Amino acid sequence: MLGAIRRRVGGPQSLLNTVLKCKSGLEPTAAAWTSGGRRNASEPQILSTCFRPDFAPPAASSPPRSGTMTVRDALNSAIDEEMAADSKVFIIGEEVGEYQGAYKVTKGLLQKFGPDRVLDTPITEAGFTGIGVGSAFYGLKPIVEFMTFNFAMQAIDHIINSAAKTHYMSGGKIEVPIVFRGPNGAAAGVAAQHSQCFAAWYGACPGLKVLAPYNAEDARGLLKAAIRDPDPVVFLENELMYGETFTVSDEVLDPSFTLPIGKAKVERQGTDLTMTAFSKMVGTCLKAAEELAKEGISVEVINLRSIRPLDRATINASVRKTSRLLTVEEGWPQHGVGAEICASVVEQSFEYLDAPIERICGADVPMPYAANLERLAVPQLEDIIRAAKRVCYRSTQQRAAA
Amino acid sequence: MAASMVTCAAVPTLRSGASRSTNSVVESSAAKFASKSSFLGLNVRAPTVVAAASSSRHSVAGKVSASASELVQAKPKSKADDLLITRDEVLDVYEDMVLGRSFEDMCAQMYYRGKMFGFVHLYNGQEAVSSGVIRLLKKEDFVTSTYRDHVHALSKGVPARLVMAELFGKSTGCCRGQGGSMHMFSKEHGLLGGFAFIGEGIPVATGAAFTTKYKREVLKDDKADAVSVAFFGDGTCNNGQFFECLNMAALWKLPIVFVVENNLWAIGMSHVRATSVPEIWKKGPAFGMPGVHVDGMDVLKVREVAKEAIERARRGEGPTLIECETYRFRGHSLADPDELRNPAEKAHYAARDPISALKKYILENDLATEAELKAIDKKIDDVVEDAVEFADESPLPVRSQLLENVFADPRGFGIGPDGKYRCEDPGFTAGTAQV
């Protein structure tokens, strides 16, 4: 897949070719996305992540936004609708049934679908993940919920070795249409073993699709796409986002609404600086963009949505427009998502950069418990604003990190 | 949960008759596991006091002519030297249980006032297990726990001030504010955590037990006899790590005691819904170690069983699995609405509060007066208040503490304080790491 991208986005000339190729009819229609079935095998999957240079926010003439929804309700409705539409979908995990979900994401599902499709498990992550993977080999579509992705470390053997690698190892014979979902990353005051961000770890693994929604629309669309997807998907939610409310349009509320996997969204247009973020940090970046706009810096904020496949096309196109990049994430810096984005931009858009790229990451320590230390360990609004100004005013060699 | 008293058919019990007692002892019949121990139910003449270093904790004064459960239930008015426990010991245990209870109640108050945050899991109702087992241990013995670890820390001897400061996230806490409620560690007192994932503490405790065995056999240290105790819940007993450690501990005859605090619920998952064979004690003999089921609301019973298990481990006879049937009066954590548990069940166990039961026992057997017990209560109140004040007044960690303690050797590349490579230093293998 990487090879395909390089062919597509290798320089201005091939860029144009790709744009023309996309526009000439290989762009997926809404129907293709909602069919849920396997796409035509001859059509390379990559072309579905078509590069479109003009990502304008919905025009004023689009249907009026109606309704608000919390991220929790978005996830709940997505699972609900997919389970109703396809009886092969079931959900398995700790406290998903009688307790209504450890974070109430699966509220009401037991009552609606019964204990045969909403399965409470003992505390055996390795066991029930393996059971989920095995059932996916034979055509069922499990949704495996982890209470947090930290607990998934007890099951990571099955996520990587049994789920991610099987389609390859079996020569394409066995599909694994499974979704692993749960909260990821830092919450509030839950200390080192509950606060790790796993986006970089799972994003490094070929065979997995890794998604990280930000708002209710992302949550709904991406989870529905993930459940319909024939490949293993790691769906990284965020505990602190569950209760956040967002406005949603009628289109989002439609039961056949899905979002493409592998496509980032430009949440805010800008001309001076590109910021990339995923999950909770998107909100912080948008706030930072508001603040920076007052000082005359126009920031383009990209909501990655998909960690793997990473939408390098959108990111590179944006950097080519603004010439500066700031990557933001909550996870650890070394080998992080930001590191991969920086490498990609240096590889593909080096001549366009006017300043060294900056990464804003969580502190390179296990998450401390003390409240003031925890605040220092996670990127805050001020950190992002400061870094953005640094990237904009500086065009000389960046000093070595402390 | 039905207290099933089925004893393993292939194994002779050491108890005589009494099928209605809540204690069942299963020991393997294999000769190598034959114990010279004296479990409950035997007629035992007053044994000599075990010469444990400083405390009288290991003394069993008095003749045991019936099982401990009958003794406690019937509460006979017998002479002091007929009792299972001396006055000093029982007051120590009482004080420890009251400390545990008051501390946890104070934690709840502080949480609702916003001084504590994150996940806080309280131990109310289970004090008999912690006090019954840990008060028998020496300072060098090891304890591992789960996230419900405040009271294990207190019983093991970590000062209440340090635990409270840790919960407030202050730099004077036992882990400098970096660990939090779920990660209590104390090298001095042998507390090895404090783990967020259940099941994680069991291999760690097994490793600590292995250290003792290694010290004896490889390092030829005859005085190494530290016992390791792992505390965990019913939910953990379905986790793979539990079984792996039972196997290895029995295989290598490690000096460890596995204590299951079966409070029947894992957040909202009832034990019988999650387990194919709900009797956890049966899983001990499956791996070749004794499995004991004991009433975890009765501190004296827990104490007797634990004493035997710890002595067994110290003698080098291997591990024991103790299942304590107990109950947590509060929800799983302070954020848990606790809707799934039957109020009748809660009321049943609330009536069997271990502290009230012990108090009754003490008074009926004239081990102490009401006034003395009240004095202990008051003393504990003062200790807890002092702990809160200390924690309140302690400073938050300084900014620079964020990056400290990641490594023991901070330079990370084996570079000594003189700037040269450690491996080129002739004294390297003697341990030259300076922080």
Question: Quick check: A124 and B340 CB within 8 A?
Answer: no
* Helix or strand run (H / E) with residue B258: strand B256-262
- Among B332, B403, B405, B406, pick the best mutation site for testing chain A contact (most A Cβ within 10 A): B403
Of A219, A253, A287, which residue constitutes the final position of a domain?
A: A253
| Cβ contacts of B232 on chain A, cutoff 8 Å | none
| Cβ contacts of B199 on chain A, cutoff 8 Å | 123, 154
Q: Do A311 and A242 share a structural domain?
A: no
C-alpha–C-alpha distance, residues B12 and B28, integer Å? 8
C-alpha–C-alpha distance, residues B58 and B106, integer Å? 32
| Cβ contacts of A361 on chain B, cutoff 8 Å | none
> What pLDDT was estimated at residue A393?
82
φ/ψ (deg, to 5) at B295: -75, 110
Share of chain B above pLDDT 70, in %: 75
Nearest to A358 by CA among A317, A383, A327: A327
Q: Do A274 and A244 share a structural domain?
A: no
CA B201 to chain centre: 12
Cβ of B190 under 8 Å from any chain A Cβ?
Answer: no
> What pLDDT was estimated at residue B421?
66
| B191 DSSP assignment | B
Query: What mean pLDDT is predicted for residues B93-105?
Result: 97
Q: Do A184 and A75 share a structural domain?
A: yes
| Cβ contacts of B235 on chain A, cutoff 8 Å | 122-123
Q: Do A228 and A298 share a structural domain?
A: no
**Cβ B168 vs Cβ B116: under 8 Å:** yes
Return the CATH number at A193: 3.40.50.970
At B6, is the secondary structure helix, strand, or coil?
A: coil
Cβ of A334 under 8 Å from any chain B Cβ?
Answer: no
Nearest to A114 by CA among A84, A153, A144, A148: A84
Cβ of B410 under 8 Å from any chain A Cβ?
Answer: no
Angle between helices B299-314 and B87-112 (to 10 degrees): 110
C-alpha–C-alpha distance, residues A341 and A361, integer Å? 13
Query: Is A17 domain-assigned?
Result: no
What are the Cα distances from residue A106, in Å, to A97, A218, B182, B349?
7, 18, 26, 31
**Cβ B174 vs Cβ B166: under 8 Å:** yes
Of A196, A223, A253, which residue constitutes the final position of a domain?
A: A253
Q: How confident is the model at residue B193 (pLDDT cuts 50, 70, 90)?
A: confident
User: Residue B128 corresponds to which tokens in the numbers above?
Assistant: 């008999």
C-alpha–C-alpha distance, residues B21 and B283, integer Å? 20
Q: Do A270 and A246 share a structural domain?
A: no
Q: Do A84 and A135 share a structural domain?
A: yes
Q: Model confidence over B77-97: pLDDT tens digits?
A: 555 555 778 999 999 999 999
More confident residue, B220 or B41: B220
| Cβ contacts of B397 on chain A, cutoff 8 Å | 368, 370, 372-373
- Among A369, A372, A376, pick the best mutation site for testing chain B contact (most B Cβ within 10 A): A369
Look at phi and psi of residue B387 and say left if phi exceeds 0, alpha if psi is from -120 to 50, else beta.
Answer: alpha
Strand-strand pairing, B269-270 and B265-266: antiparallel
Q: How confident is the model at residue B406 (pLDDT cuts 50, 70, 90)?
A: confident
| Cβ contacts of A366 on chain B, cutoff 8 Å | 178, 406
Strand-strand pairing, A265-268 and A299-303: antiparallel
Strand-strand pairing, B24-26 and B291-295: antiparallel
Nearest to B290 by CA among B23, B20, B17: B23
* Helix or strand run (H / E) with residue B72: helix B68-74
- Among A373, A374, A375, A376, pick the best mutation site for testing chain B contact (most B Cβ within 10 A): A373
Strand-strand pairing, B291-295 and B320-325: parallel
Structural domains of chain B ordered from first start: 87-393 (3.40.50.970), 399-426 (no CATH)
Q: Do A279 and A241 share a structural domain?
A: no
> What pLDDT was estimated at residue B339?
86
Query: Is A191 domain-assigned?
Result: yes
Q: Do A294 and A231 share a structural domain?
A: no
> What pLDDT was estimated at residue B408?
72
* Helix or strand run (H / E) with residue A145: strand A141-145
Return the CATH number at A356: 3.40.50.920
Q: Model confidence over B332-379: pLDDT tens digits?
A: 999 888 888 999 999 999 999 999 999 999 999 999 999 999 999 999
Cβ of B267 under 8 Å from any chain A Cβ?
Answer: yes
Q: pTM score > 0.90 for this model? A: no
Query: Is A202 domain-assigned?
Result: yes
Q: How confident is the model at residue B415 (pLDDT cuts 50, 70, 90)?
A: low
Query: CA-nearest residue of chain A to B115?
Result: A371
Q: Do A190 and A93 share a structural domain?
A: yes
Query: Is A74 domain-assigned?
Result: yes
Angle between helices B299-314 and B127-134 (to 10 degrees): 40
Domain region containing A208: 67-253
Cis? peptide before A97, omega within 30° of 0: no
Supply the residues of A annotated as catalytic. Answer: 125, 194
Query: Is A20 domain-assigned?
Result: no
User: Residue A89 corresponds to which tokens in the numbers above?
Assistant: 């979908």
The residues pairing with B186 across neighbouring beta strands, listed in sequence order, are B191
Question: Quick check: B119 and A190 CB within 8 A?
Answer: yes
Query: Is A41 domain-assigned?
Result: no
List of chain A residues with pLDDT < 70: 1-66, 394-402
Of A206, A222, A253, which residue constitutes the final position of a domain?
A: A253
- Among B239, B265, B277, B400, pick the best mutation site for testing chain A contact (most A Cβ within 10 A): B239
Nearest to B240 by CA among B177, B178, B283: B283
Write the residue in A94, A127, A369 that is nearest to B178 by C-beta: A369
Q: Do A204 and A242 share a structural domain?
A: yes
Cβ of B266 under 8 Å from any chain A Cβ?
Answer: yes
Q: Which amino acid is at B134?
A: I
What are the Cα distances from residue A151, in Å, to A80, A194, A197, B33?
24, 8, 12, 37
Q: Which amino acid is at B415?
A: I
Residue A77 CB partners (closer than 8 Å, separation 6+): A69, A220
CA angle B89, B77, B65 (to 5 degrees): 75
What are the Cα distances from residue A55, in Å, to A275, B364, B402?
15, 81, 40
Question: Each residue of A288-308: b (16+ CB within 10 Å) or e?
Answer: bbeebeeeebebbbbbbbbbb
Query: Is A13 domain-assigned?
Result: no
C-alpha–C-alpha distance, residues B304 and A247, integer Å? 62
> What pLDDT was estimated at residue B84?
75
At B269, is the secondary structure helix, strand, or coil?
A: strand
Q: Model confidence over B244-274: pLDDT tens digits?
A: 999 999 999 999 999 999 999 999 899 999 9
> What pLDDT was estimated at residue B338?
86
Which ranges constitute the DSSP H helices of A151-304? 156-157, 166-169, 199-203, 216-228, 250-253, 280-294
The residues pairing with B320 across neighbouring beta strands, listed in sequence order, are B257
CA-based R_g, chain B, Å:
22
Cβ of A366 under 8 Å from any chain B Cβ?
Answer: yes
Q: Do A183 and A290 share a structural domain?
A: no
Nearest to B120 by CA among A103, A188, A375, A377: A188
C-alpha–C-alpha distance, residues A172 and A207, integer Å? 11
The span from the first CA to the last CA of chain A, in angstroms, equals 36
Residue B31 CB partners (closer than 8 Å, separation 6+): none
Q: What percent of chain B is helix, strand and coil (3-state, nearest 5)?
A: 40, 10, 50
Q: What is the residue-wise DSSP string for B306-367? A: HHHHHHHHHTT---EEEEEE---SS-SSTT----SS-HHHHHHHHTT-HHHHHHHHHHHTTS
Question: Each residue of A190-199: b (16+ CB within 10 Å) or e?
Answer: bbbbbbbbbb
Q: Which amino acid is at B62?
A: G
Cis? peptide before A368, omega within 30° of 0: no
Q: Do A276 and A243 share a structural domain?
A: no
Cβ of A375 under 8 Å from any chain B Cβ?
Answer: no
What are the Cα distances from residue B179, in Å, to A72, B118, B176?
29, 12, 7
Write the residue in B175, B196, B236 that is nearest to A123 by C-beta: B236
Query: Is A51 domain-assigned?
Result: no
The number of folded domains in chain A is: 2
Q: Note the residue count of chain B.
A: 435
Cβ of B196 under 8 Å from any chain A Cβ?
Answer: yes
C-alpha–C-alpha distance, residues A103 and B327, integer Å? 24
ipTM above 0.90, yes or no: no
Q: Which single residue is written with the structure tokens 């708002």?
A: A215
Ranges of beta strands (E only) in A23-95 are 68-70, 89-93
Nearest to A360 by CA among A294, A282, A306: A282
| Cβ contacts of B166 on chain A, cutoff 8 Å | 369
